[in-house]
């Protein structure tokens, strides 16, 4: 793969990862509630699903999945339902006073947070469409495909990990501003609303003809 081709893809990854979506909302929500180090497990879960989608596209199944109306709708509405459930759960989370030290933070289980991030991306057909639309134009069919998919998939995952670290870390700093249960309750409602909004946007996605 030519360096110029990779650099173009690298720049595109940054632009696309920085655009806020359900993954960014999930990362920020975990950062606010659990702090950076615990909350970052959600971002790792997002990338596990991203790697799965890259593998699906590399195996040639992505085009078949996107072409199947039934599969597309099932995945889409599963994603909508999951985001709404996250929104309701976040909205109803009981407020508790937080402090800026580690003892004041609720403890999230890494596996649960990783699964949460995985489900956000895995149940989003837009992620598969995105991978299917972005990766193939940068693939040279005359050269080994596996190596190219590994390079491009690794690049997009690495960039997204960095971007989600920024979202998680920025949100985690809000912990120092949460001095009362009322403030935490407000933050929970804001992120709960964001999850429901993301679900609404996902519900409007239509399969391309």
Residue 179 resides in a domain: yes
Residue 123 resides in a domain: yes
Q: Tokens at residue 171, please? A: 């949100």
Report the C-alpha gap between 181 and 91 in whole angstroms: 13
Check residue 166 and give its pLDDT: 92
Report the C-alpha gap between 197 and 52 in whole angstroms: 25
List, run by run, the mean pLDDT of 10-residue segments along the chain (209 residues): 83 79 86 88 94 86 68 77 82 62 59 92 76 77 85 93 92 73 75 80 66
Start-to-end Cα distance in the chain: 31
Residue 2 resides in a domain: no
Report the C-alpha gap between 9 and 6 in whole angstroms: 5
Half-sphere CA count of 88, side-chain side, radius 13 A:
5
Residue 130 resides in a domain: yes
Check residue 4 and give its pLDDT: 82
Q: Tokens at residue 14, please? A: 């940054």
Residue 7 resides in a domain: no
Report the C-alpha gap between 175 and 171 in whole angstroms: 8
Supply φ then ψ for residue 59, to 5 degrees. -80, -5
Give the residue numbers spanning the domain of 27.
Answer: 21-203
Residues 6+ apart with CB under 8 A from 84: 195, 196, 199
Instruction: Please tell me the pTM assigned to this model.
Output: 0.74
Report the C-alpha gap between 154 and 47 in whole angstroms: 10
Residue 12 resides in a domain: no
**b/e string for 103-122 if b means 16 or more Cβ within 10 A?**
eebeebebeebbbbbbbbbb
Residue with tokens 């702090």: 35
Q: If residue 11 lies in a helix (H) or strand (E), which one and from where to where? A: helix 3-18
Residue 70 resides in a domain: yes
Domain count, the chain: 1
Check residue 47 and give its pLDDT: 95
Residue 8 resides in a domain: no
């Amino acid at each position: 793969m030519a360096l110029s081709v990779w650099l173009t893809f690298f720049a595109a990854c940054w632009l696309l990862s920085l655009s806020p979506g359900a993954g960014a909302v999930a990362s920020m929500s975990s950062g606010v509630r659990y702090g950076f180090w615990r909350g970052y497990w959600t971002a790792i879960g997002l990338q596990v699903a991203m790697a799965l989608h890259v593998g699906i596209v590399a195996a040639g199944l992505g085009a078949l999945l996107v072409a199947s109306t039934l599969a597309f709708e099932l995945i889409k509405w599963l994603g909508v339902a999951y985001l709404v459930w996250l929104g309701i759960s976040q909205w109803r989370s009981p407020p508790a006073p937080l402090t800026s030290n580690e003892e004041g933070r609720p403890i999230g289980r890494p596996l649960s947070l990783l699964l949460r991030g995985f489900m956000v991306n895995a149940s989003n057909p837009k992620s598969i469409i995105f991978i299917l639309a972005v990766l193939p134009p940068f693939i040279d069919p005359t050269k080994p495909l596996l190596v190219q998919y590994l390079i491009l998939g690794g690049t997009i995952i690495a960039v997204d990990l960095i971007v989600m670290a920024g979202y998680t870390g920025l949100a985690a700093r809000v912990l120092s501003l949460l001095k009362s249960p009322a403030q935490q309750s407000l933050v929970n409602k804001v992120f709960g609303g964001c999850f429901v909004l993301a679900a609404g946007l996902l519900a409007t996605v239509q399969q391309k003809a």
